Structure 1
Amino acid sequence: MSVVRTLRVPGRHGYAAEFSPYLPGRLACAAAQNYGIAGCGTLLVLDQTESGLQIFRSFDWNDGLFDVTWSENNEHVLVTCSGDGSLQLWDTAKATGPLQVYREHTQEVYSVDWSQTRGEQLVVSGSWDHTVKVWDPTVQNSLYTFTGHESVIYSTIWSPHIPGCFASTSGDQTLRIWDVKMAGVRIVIPAHHTEILSCDWCKYNENLVVTGAVDCSLRGWDLRNVRQPVFELLGHKYAIRKVKFSPFHASVLASCSYDFTVRFWNFSKSDPLLETVEHHTEFTCGLDFSLQSPTEVADCSWDETIKIYNPVCLTVPG
């Protein structure tokens, strides 16, 4: 592996990392004190320099921050979500904040995502209160509330292809597909026999969603026929905390786990595991591919470090 840029943030345990869709090398990280059990949270906005990673902005919140998403129409704006049930809207051009706080969820909000499809500016949030909410960030109250999950919601992700369509995963062992134009759920998939902590939508196939679960497996689902997964990836030793599809390679994805590793996969190959990265000493919770560089990845961990690096498997042709 080439140069690993590392920033240690003492007393802050990383939960989520997301690259800016606008600025190369800019990364946001949502973190919490005391492993998110108690204490405050911090939104860290980092820039890469030749000397490493530097903090551009740091914002504190009075409860742990569990996820972060960049605005798709303003390079300065982000949304985070928190253990106190609220979402926060931040502006990196301002040293103080937040600009807005949205309070409707009644328990921890574990997932937040900004829609990537043109013509809509919507944020989706998933909570331990078993509800999914859809927000217009310019409006104080949510636009829609979706119910149906029977347990904690861990992950909510917009389709990059279909406006108003998103996926969610839950402790109820299901992957669900929703549409804001419909009152209820479109598809319910009993995707694993354990809690499902993460999902992501393929950037090259509107019908392909991947799930990562406590059973240590990743499963790919073709939404046109959900009786069986189209692939299953095995190798992690503990629960999979986050899964992300590559924005540059149609069949490449990455996963991070409570086994401290990040693994890179190509599900089109007979031997799909491309590389295992072992550079953390605690649960690895946050993971993202750069949208600017085909070889660059970021992750964050409960070991108080945030890392940006170039895995060998993404830098070697083929």
Structure 2
Amino acid sequence: MAKHLDAICHRKDGGFALAGSSLTGNTWDGALWLFNDWDHYINCPNIELEAFSTITGHNDITWLNQSKLLVAADSGDIEIWDVIAPGNMLSCDSALYGGHDDMVLTVCVPKVKEEKEGESIVSGGGDGRIVVWDVSTAKVVCKYRAHVGWITDIDYHPSQPNVFISTGLDQTLRIWDTRQSSPVTMSLKAPHHANCLCVSWSKYEDNFIASGDEAGYLYLHDLRLPVNPNASPFYYRLHSNAVHRLSFSPTVKGLVASVSDDSTAKLFHFPTQTTVFTSSSHADFVHGLSWQQDSTSFLTCSWDFKVYRHEFNESMIPDPVTPSVVPLTVSEMQDDSLFENFVDEDTVHAEADMAKGKGRERERKRDKTEGTDCNGMNESLGLNGKQGQAALETNGGTHSDVGLAK
């Protein structure tokens, strides 16, 4: 039985679909579920009996419209499932073939419709290709060699149906405009120490994009800033394991939901830089996340074969405070010694005061050459005087997440 739930997606009317894979047995098959609403799910006497079995596993699902569900399959195809009423049944009578040479990992539908005829969607696969499809003709419009390695996620611009962003295992994010002869309009080299797994474009502020990596970090990219290899986006250590999926709230500005392989679901509020909600209800990897249309509630699904509903309210957001964290530069993030020898600033000052009180004579006799060497090391690390002295004085301290993302 396909009990490893990997994807969940809402329809506009509040109904939702689930997709899962078995991951065991002689064949790696899967299953789909369709529910009219949350009450339909919680009152279902036997979830397993509601499943529509498939011969392949699934990685992602999304609604093309109220009656058609697109399924990214391990077979390399995009299956099109029709909702049959009455009875709330699913039937797969067609598919999009020939676009990918490996499994399809993500499929995305524009958030606004194009003026021209046709229904364009985009998919990304394990072959490193992005494929733009015309669903009305079931034909490939164009293919792009997009990333080195798997393409892990794609999300459309909130108001431009020809613009989308992709991310992959090459630690990059790329913005595409299919109207251009050279469709890659921007390439962001995120300072990820790990592969990027998910991306989401803000609905209310289209200059902001959030991404998550397999080390548990959440990044906020401001597209108004120039692409600078020595500058990093804001980042936060939100999870202790891979961030598998994230999505901006459809109703609350600056609020993003994320799910992780650490079995948690969280809400992070960017304006206050605060984790306002954490759920540890799941007992296994959490891979599916979906906001209900124009609502403050979202659903999550997991490999524990459970679906949970989570509610947000405005009282969760604290009063605005002045941020106390300055993001590191890329060169600083890539210097492992900083991560190994980092302690918070209060501790550094306390240790410095003790050293001054106990060893003033030793300070007076310090060789001038040693001071010159310290300044040279500060410049090579890209640190200011206080940060450089802290890194040298700690010499063997431990790095904590508090220093990165509080």
TM-score bracket relative to the smaller structure: 0.7 to 0.9
- Quote the residue 2:83 is aligned against: 92
1:50: Cα distance to partner?
Answer: 7.1
Question: Residue 125 of structure 1: SS of its match in structure 2?
Answer: strand
- Quote the residue 1:3 is aligned against: none
**Contact in 1 for aligned 2:211/2:219 (Cα 8 Å):** yes
**Contact in 1 for aligned 2:68/2:83 (Cα 8 Å):** yes
**Contact in 1 for aligned 2:80/2:94 (Cα 8 Å):** yes
Question: Residue 170 of structure 2: SS of its match in structure 1?
Answer: coil
Q: 1:103 aligns with which of 97, 106, 122?
A: 97
Aligned residue type for 1:213: D
**Contact in 1 for aligned 2:2/2:20 (Cα 8 Å):** no
- Quote the residue 2:208 is aligned against: 208
Question: Residue 166 of structure 1: SS of its match in structure 2?
Answer: strand
Question: Residue 23 of structure 1: SS of its match in structure 2?
Answer: coil
Cα distance in structure 2, aligned partners of 1:36 and 1:107: 21
Aligned residue type for 1:219: Y
Cα distance in structure 1, aligned partners of 2:313 and 2:26: 35
What whole-Å deviation, never above 9, does each CA across 1:97-156 have from its counterpart, x for those lacking one?
Answer: 313111221111110111111326321111000001111211222111111311110101
2:53 matched to 1:60?
Answer: yes
Alignment of 1:1-318 (within 5 A): 11-20=2-11, 22-24=12-14, 26-34=15-23, 39-47=28-36, 48-49=38-39, 52=42, 54=44, 58-71=51-64, 74-93=65-84, 95=89, 97-104=91-98, 105-119=100-114, 121-182=119-180, 183-191=182-190, 192-225=192-225, 226-227=227-228, 228-270=231-273, 272-294=274-296, 296-310=297-311, 313-314=312-313, 316=315, 318=317
Q: 1:158 to 1:50 in 2, by over 3 A?
A: closer
Aligned length: 301
Q: CA RMSD in A?
A: 2.2
- Quote the residue 1:4 is aligned against: none
Which is worse superposed, 107-116 or 40-49? 40-49
Task: Using structure 1 for the length normalisation, give the TM-score.
Answer: 0.88
**Contact in 2 for aligned 1:13/1:35 (Cα 8 Å):** no
Cα distance in structure 1, aligned partners of 2:178 and 2:158: 14
Cα distance in structure 2, aligned partners of 1:116 and 1:297: 18
Cα distance in structure 2, aligned partners of 1:171 and 1:277: 28
Aligned residue type for 1:61: T
1:83: Cα distance to partner?
Answer: 0.7
Cα distance in structure 2, aligned partners of 1:229 and 1:75: 40
Query: Which residues of structure 2 form unaligned runs of 5+?
Result: 318-406
Q: Displaced runs of 4+ in structure 1, greater than 6 A? A: none
Aligned residue type for 1:131: R
What whole-Å deviation, never above 9, does each CA across 1:192-247 have from its counterpart, x for those lacking one?
Answer: 23211100100011221111001210101112324345421213101110011000
Q: 1:126 to 1:85 in 2, by over 3 A?
A: same
For the pair shown, which has the larger CA radius of gyration, 1 or 2?
2
With a CA cutoff of 8 Å and minimum separation of 6, indicate the structure with the bigger relative contact order: 1
Structure with the higher helix share, 1 or 2: 2
Question: Residue 266 of structure 2: SS of its match in structure 1?
Answer: strand
Aligned residue type for 1:52: I
Question: Residue 273 of structure 1: SS of its match in structure 2?
Answer: strand
**Contact in 2 for aligned 1:36/1:64 (Cα 8 Å):** no
Q: 1:67 to 1:51 in 2, by over 3 A?
A: closer
Cα distance in structure 2, aligned partners of 1:84 and 1:208: 34
Cα distance in structure 2, aligned partners of 1:11 and 1:163: 34
1:290: Cα distance to partner?
Answer: 1.0
Cα distance in structure 2, aligned partners of 1:60 and 1:11: 8
Aligned residue type for 2:156: W
Task: Using structure 2 for the length normalisation, give the TM-score.
Answer: 0.70
Cα distance in structure 2, aligned partners of 1:210 and 1:37: 38
Cα distance in structure 1, aligned partners of 2:215 and 2:26: 23
**Contact in 2 for aligned 1:220/1:229 (Cα 8 Å):** no
**Contact in 2 for aligned 1:124/1:158 (Cα 8 Å):** no
Question: Residue 316 of structure 1: SS of its match in structure 2?
Answer: helix
1:265: Cα distance to partner?
Answer: 0.5
Aligned residue type for 2:250: P
- Quote the residue 1:5 is aligned against: none
1:57: Cα distance to partner?
Answer: 6.6
Which is worse superposed, 111-120 or 46-55? 46-55
**Contact in 2 for aligned 1:13/1:36 (Cα 8 Å):** no
**Contact in 1 for aligned 2:255/2:268 (Cα 8 Å):** yes
Cα distance in structure 1, aligned partners of 2:261 and 2:145: 29
Cα distance in structure 2, aligned partners of 1:167 and 1:317: 30
Which is worse superposed, 222-231 or 281-290? 222-231
